[in-house]
Amino acid sequence: MRRRAPAPPVDKAGLVAQYWESHDEELLTASLRKIARRLPALVTAALRLAWQASAPDTVVALAGNVLAGVFTIYGLMATSDVLGSLFAAGPTPDRVRGALPALALVAVAAGLRGALLAAAGWAQARLKPQVERLAETRLFELTTRVELAAFDDDDFHNAMRRARDSGVPDTANVVEATISALTGLVGVLSATVALGVLHPVLMPLLLITAVPAGWAAVRAARLGYQAFYRLSAARRRKFMLSDLMAERLPAAEVRAFALRDFLLGEYAKVADLEQDVQLDVARRRTGVKATGDLLTGGATLAVYGALAALLAAGVIPLAVAGTAVLAIRTGQSSLAGLIQTLNRLYEAGLYFGDYLAFRELAGTRIPPDPGTEPAGLGRLAADRITFTYPGAGHPALREVSVTAGRGEVIALVGENGSGKTTLAKVLAGLYRPQSGTIRWDGHDLSDVDLRRLVSVIAQDHTRWPLTVRENILMGGPLDEERLADAAAAAGADEVVSALPLGYDSLLDRRFRGGHDLSGGQWQRIAVARGFYRDAELVIFDEPTSALDARAEHTLFERIRKHAEGRAIVLITHRLASVRYADRIYVLDRGRVAEQGTHAELMARDGVYAELYGLQAAAYRLDEALPREPVT
């Protein structure tokens, strides 16, 4: 009788909200005072980025807005003169003629203000794409420099996704909102200064309306950011499910295993959570906005009441009161834009903060600059190295020692999870061990630049959406003769000859004219990369897993020939192919359990001999492997 598998946990997807982004807890609970203290640093960072993207456009955008504010003040003062002339005693024609010079000044001020704002808007529009490009470029400069182990760190990966998906787009929004906020601030200050010039007692009236509107804007922004973090893990899973249901690669298995209902059910769980959170935030934001609007309306009523009282008491003349009304309306318009912009600035600034935080985090994960490039390789020696993946409970490698010399083929064998691929990446300098040393002709691996001297053909090689030629060259200079030799050595020339455009064929069917290859054909292209690079150390990780028997035998023969003048590290489960390796290392649970030649290991009758015997028995007709009883 078959035993039932244990029921899966209810929350397989990790949809329960988890605030594992520790550095953002303060932002989620920040008070208005903390936000006010944070905005100057945010504005400074935004302006610095804008200056680095385009100093001339930044100057035009800022100077245009500031000067426009000056002409706003000038225009309001000229308006006061106009009203003073119109409200003066005497015949109406005389009062109109007396107002004409001031009216001309109002028109000139309005025209210059409009021209300055237009120039500032043009410069601001130019800044946005430049800032976004600069921010994205700096992000990718970091992601391509950090140590490989950083991508195995869940915290780093989440920080990178937030910075890439939300932080980069919002860098341009922060710069745009910063300049717009400065524009609104200049408008508010211009109206406030104009009121103060008209009469000092008028100056504080406009600012009274800022408090309730500011509270509502900050509260709404915080609600939106909280929703973003409550949904960050769920949205990652939603994107993953979307790829599973709408991409070509998994489409066959989705149908073969009848996964449609299962995937739609998983998607529904995420979509339900996302919808519930969004509806809750919409409800709470509506309440906040309504409360803010009521409070702002009450503050505005109080301001106009105070203005009426001052006029009735004779504190200010009618012309000043009229100008004050215009100034307050102008200031309120600027204030409304300022509050709205501050809302966008604060909300976008939180995501921009993720971008800045990731840049700081990534800076700590950049390995030291490599030293000089060695002339060649005589001997590579790893001595008692230990390596643990970030967050792992136990080391993937434990005090492992291996050596590889020029002209040698060494093989790494062992069961799945024994540490073979990890060891290969450590030998290639992709991972840095926590302890032990790796030396390249006596030089510590961290002190030499191996980028041009090592070639790694990974088991999970990337299927680049590029042409065949670009897939083999991998950014290197083109040498037609070497390209042909590398393709022939890997058997990729047969793949190329079957494609209509040969080496110029695009290997991605998602694009017009693109082609797809089988797993074995892709593996030949990947092996050709390694042959073309002509490196001193070449690592082949399961290079024949998708090849047929004839192609596998041919490739291993070519790999042995390729060892002339270089060191080869070969990882494979096909033990018959490593019989002629100069040295075989058998890994077991991250340790070297055995080492030696094929003959020495067979004579030892240990792990290697057992594994080799199991594989060999499958090809001997006079032996039958024991079968487990079916329950």
* CATH classification at residue 222: 1.20.1560.10
pLDDT reported for residue 36: 64
pLDDT reported for residue 90: 46
Residue appearing with tokens 């002190």:
447
138 falls within a domain: yes
169 falls within a domain: yes
214 falls within a domain: yes
- Rounded Cα distance between 36 and 44, Å, is 13
pLDDT reported for residue 21: 41
Strands 435-440 and 379-387: antiparallel
Distance of CA 255 to the CA centre of its chain: 32
Q: Into how many domains does the chain fold?
A: 1
- Rounded Cα distance between 562 and 564, Å, is 5
pLDDT reported for residue 31: 53
395 falls within a domain: no
247 falls within a domain: yes
Q: Which two tokens stand for residue 296?
A: 């702002």
> pTM of the entire structure?
0.69
C-beta separation of 527 from 555 below 8 A = yes
pLDDT reported for residue 107: 73
Name the residue range of residue 253's domain: 32-363
How many Cβ atoms sit within 10 Å of the Cβ of residue 339? 23
pLDDT reported for residue 399: 92
60 falls within a domain: yes
Q: How distant, in Å, are the alpha carbons of 346, 406, 490 from that of 410?
A: 58, 11, 19
Q: Which burial class, exposed, middle or buried, applies to 394 when counting CB atoms under 10 A from its CB (0-12, 13-18, 19+)?
A: exposed
pLDDT reported for residue 386: 93
10-residue mean pLDDT profile of the chain (631 residues): values are: 42 39 45 66 84 90 80 63 51 56 70 83 87 90 87 83 83 84 79 76 73 72 71 76 85 86 89 86 86 83 78 73 71 71 74 86 84 79 90 88 89 89 88 89 81 81 86 87 86 86 85 82 86 84 72 74 80 82 90 91 89 77 49 44
Distance of CA 336 to the CA centre of its chain: 34
pLDDT reported for residue 412: 92
526 falls within a domain: no
492 falls within a domain: no
Residue type, 397: L
pLDDT reported for residue 29: 53
Q: How distant, in Å, are the alpha carbons of 167, 221, 233, 599 from that of 228?
A: 12, 11, 10, 61
pLDDT reported for residue 402: 92
- With vertex at residue 349, the alpha carbon angle to CA 189 and CA 25, rounded to the nearest 5 degrees, is 125
Which residues are CB-neighbours of 47 under 8 A, at least 6 positions away?
58, 62, 175, 178
